[in-house]
Amino acid sequence: MFKQIVVAADGSWHSMKAIEKTIELAKGRDTKVFVVYAVDSSTSKADVLQNWDTLGISEKRKERLTAICEIAKKEKINYEIKILRGEPVQVIIGFARTTNADLIVIGCRGLNPLQQMVLGSVSHKVMKKASCPVLIMK
C-alpha cells in the first residue's frame, strides 16, 4: 500500500503514537520508514539552556530516538532515522518531497505548546502544505 512513509518524531507522547501507527502500517510490507527528527533553532536554544552543553543535547535526542529504534527492530521494519536541522514544517515537507513519500504520519501535538498556540500547530501546517496524504495521530 505505502512504499515510503515519513513519520515526524520529537520524543513526545503524540509522536510515539505516530510511530506506533506507522509501524502498524509498515509491518509485514515492503515499506521504507523514514523517522524525521526536525531540530529547529528555538528548540536547540531551549535545550542549551536546560542542558548547559551540547553533549547533553545530543544524549537527550539519542534517548528519545532509542525507543523508536527498539520498536522498529523488534517489528522488523525497514527504517532510517534522519535528524535534520531547520523549521519542522519545512523540514518534514521537504524531506517527504525529496523521498517521494506516499504518506506523512505526525502527532497532533509536539513538545512546544507555546509555539503551537501562537503560530499554529506543526501538524496542521504540514497537513495544509504537504503534497501527499497526511495522517495525524491523537
Domains of the chain by range and CATH? 4-137 (3.40.50.620)
48 — pLDDT class (breaks 50, 70, 90): very low
Cell (9 digits) for 43: 528548540
Residues 52 and 68: their CA atoms lie apart, in Å, by: 26
CB of 122 closer than 8 Å to CB of 88: yes
The vertex-89 CA angle with 78 and 93, nearest 5°, equals 50
Q: Lowest-pLDDT range, 26-30, 45-49, 82-86, 113-117?
A: 45-49
Residues in the chain: 138
User: Can you tell me the mean pLDDT for 99-113?
Assistant: 83
Residue 135's contacts (CB-CB under 8 Å, 6 or more residues apart) are: 18, 21, 103, 104, 105, 106
- The answer to whether residues 100 and 7 touch, using CB atoms and an 8 Å cutoff, is no
Residue 121: pLDDT band (50, 70, 90) is: confident
78-85 and 32-39 beta bridge pairing = parallel
pLDDT for 75: 93
Please tell me the pTM assigned to this model: 0.81
What is the average pLDDT across 30-57? 66
Instruction: Quickly list DSSP for 47-104.
Output: HHHHHSSHHHHHHHHHHHHHHHHHHHHHTT-EEEEEEEES-HHHHHHHHHHHTT-SEE
Q: pLDDT at residue 54 above 60?
A: no
